[in-house]
């Protein structure tokens, strides 16, 4: 299980966590916490979900 570093939602695996973050970005909610977090990680906001999943699996994102 993994926890979203932004909103603390629990996800079963890296793929689900990556999808969660991508979904939050695509919804363009007023809450820009997920976008701000990605920018702090110096990641492109259009990063492919596969790449984001791999980063979580390697433990490179916190």
Task: Tell me the average pLDDT of the chain.
Answer: 81
Q: For 15-53, how does the pLDDT look when each residue is reduced to its tens digit (9 = 90+)?
A: 899 889 888 877 766 668 888 888 887 776 666 777 877
pLDDT at position 6 is: 93
The Cα–Cα gap between 52 and 23 comes to: 12
Residue 10 φ/ψ, nearest 5 degrees: -90, 130
The Cα–Cα gap between 4 and 20 comes to: 8
Kindly list the domain boundaries of the chain, sorted by start residue: 2-57
pLDDT at position 27 is: 74
The Cα–Cα gap between 34 and 59 comes to: 18
- pTM here is 0.66
Is pLDDT of 57 > 70? Answer: yes
């Amino acid at each position: 299980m993994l926890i979203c570093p932004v909103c603390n939602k629990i996800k079963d695996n890296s793929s689900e966590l990556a999808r969660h973050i991508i979904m939050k970005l695509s919804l363009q909610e007023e809450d820009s916490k997920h976008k701000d977090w990605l920018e702090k990680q110096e990641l492109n906001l259009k990063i492919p979900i596969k790449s984001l999943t791999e980063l979580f699996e390697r433990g490179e994102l916190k």
